[in-house]
Amino acid sequence: MLAERHVARLLLGTLIGRLPNGMVPVAILLLIAEQGGSLTTGGLLCALYGLASAIGQPALGRMVDRRGQTVVTTAAVLATTVCLLLLAYADAVAAPGLAAGLVVLAGLSTPPLEANLRALWAAVLPDPERRRAALALDTGAQGLIYVAGPPLVATLSTLQGPGAAMTVTAVLGLLGASAVLSAAPSRQWHPEGGRAGGFLGPLQHGGLRLLFLAVCGVGFALGAMNVWAVAMAERHGMALLSGVIPAALSVGSLVGGVLYGRRNWPGPLHSQLRTWAVLFALAWAPLCVGPGPHSAIMLTALPGLFLTALITSAFLTVDALAPAGTRTEAYAWLIAAVGTGQAAGTALAGVLSAHPYAAALPAGGAFACLAVLLGARRRLAVPGPARRRGRHRRTPAHGARS
């Protein structure tokens, strides 16, 4: 797959450009701790960042659907880079309003690189099965953001301080986005002329609304896990746990993505979606007993094995059900739903970090996702082949099978 033209550049550039998504929350927590603030304050700032990003993604996705990727994404990446650079030198404890403002602006302007990449696969890979495999590879590889990002922040913070870690985060995001935006598929991609979705866009579809609500539970699990990892690090005096535990989940996600993408799975798409949600929820259960640091690292990898399959199935469902002309926005809503849930999980876990049952919060989010999907099974049924839409100057998009 990586030998296909443009695939490696687009995938690697997107991963580097999205490193701030995995690095900024950890950098904020460490920055607040260095300045003498509480974990609750850090968790709330992280929640603001995640919530602002979740709000900004659909708006930016709609602009991309109307104006193309280059202008919109370039303006977004420049804005978020400036905000992160300023945040590195702000005193969040002495000036919480300034820090909160920078965090919100950085989140709102987070470039929609992931949604853009999903929209490009139809142009880069005309074959439907290769597109499905690329989507699985893409989704699984996104976990590398949390393999490399949090440990990199922890290492840079230990050596140079959290401010330096935030500066490096901003520069990496700018470099990655530049690699994607300068690639031919991104420069040449053009949206459809018409928009069948109207003002509500993809939200007019009741099944998609329920799907977005369901994946909020996935994000909640991930957000709660990040704060729980920091609390574990403080409790056991092992600073690297704040990065290693999220990295363990991401390693599991990458392995699961490779396994998922190597074969076709039986059954209709909506049945696969529910199956992966069941396995994802059950995999969190062992963490509810409050394991020790080494056991926690190993056990956190288990839900990662099913995370990629669950998210990939959700993206394929979005692709099949989204109204014409709303593809990038629909992808962005799915990403935003995960981000919204992550913000909620981060905030609640920050407040409850001292309580013993905080370890059960990730499982709670996963089971909430499963409950919504079970209730929405009829509305999420895909009647026919998944549709790929959008125009490209060189390679027209073709229909794709889910």
Is 60 exceeded by the pLDDT of residue 389?
no
pLDDT by residue (tens digit) across 121-142? 878 888 777 777 787 788 777 7
Whole-number Å distance between alpha carbons of 383 and 298: 40
Nearest to 218 by CA among 287, 301, 303, 113: 303
Q: Cα separation of 80 and 268, whole Å?
A: 40
Angle 388-55-22 (CA atoms, 0-180°, nearest 5)? 85
Contacts of 105 (CB under 8 A, 6+ apart): 52, 79, 80, 83
CA 207 to chain centre: 21
Rounded to the nearest integer, the mean pLDDT of the chain is 81
- 97 strand-pairing partners: none
pTM for the model stands at 0.74
What's CA 21's distance to the chain center, in Å?
7
Q: Is the CB of residue 140 less than 8 Å from the CB of residue 308?
A: yes
Tokens of 121: 């696969």
H or E element: which one contains 185?
helix 184-188
198: region left, alpha or beta (phi > 0 left; psi from -120 to 50 alpha): left
How confident is the model over 187-196, as pLDDT tens digits? 888 776 555 5
d(CA 335, CA 338): 5
Higher-pLDDT residue of 279 and 97 is 279
Give the list of residues 6+ apart from residue 349 with CB closer than 8 angstroms, or none. Answer: 43, 223, 224, 225, 226, 227, 228, 231, 358, 361
pLDDT of residue 233: 74
Q: Residue 385 has what pLDDT?
A: 46
165-172 average pLDDT score: 92
The fourth-level CATH superfamily of domain 7-382 is MFS general substrate transporter like domains (1.20.1250.20)
Residue 392 has pLDDT above 50, yes or no: no
Cα 56 from Cα 108, distance rounded (Å):
4
Whole-number Å distance between alpha carbons of 191 and 397: 11
From residue 238, give the alpha-carbon distance in Å to each of 318, 371, 389. 41, 36, 49
3-state class of 190 per DSSP? strand
On the CB side of 304, CA atoms within 13 Å amount to: 25
64, 71, 133, 205, 240 from 170: Cα distances, Å: 22, 19, 31, 36, 22
Of the two residues 268 and 324, the one the predictor is more confident about is 268
| Torsions phi, psi for 323 (to 5 deg) | -60, 155
Contact of 42 with 172, CB cutoff 8 Å: no
Q: What is the pLDDT of residues 59-110, one digit of tens each?
A: 898 888 888 888 899 999 999 999 999 988 888 777 888 888 999 999 999 9
- Please tell me the distance from the alpha carbon of residue 275 to that of residue 295, in angstroms, as a whole number: 26
The Cα 283–Cα 355 span in angstroms is 22
CB contact at 8 A, 318 and 330: yes
The residue extents of the domains of the chain are 7-382
Confidence bin at 375 (pLDDT 50/70/90): confident
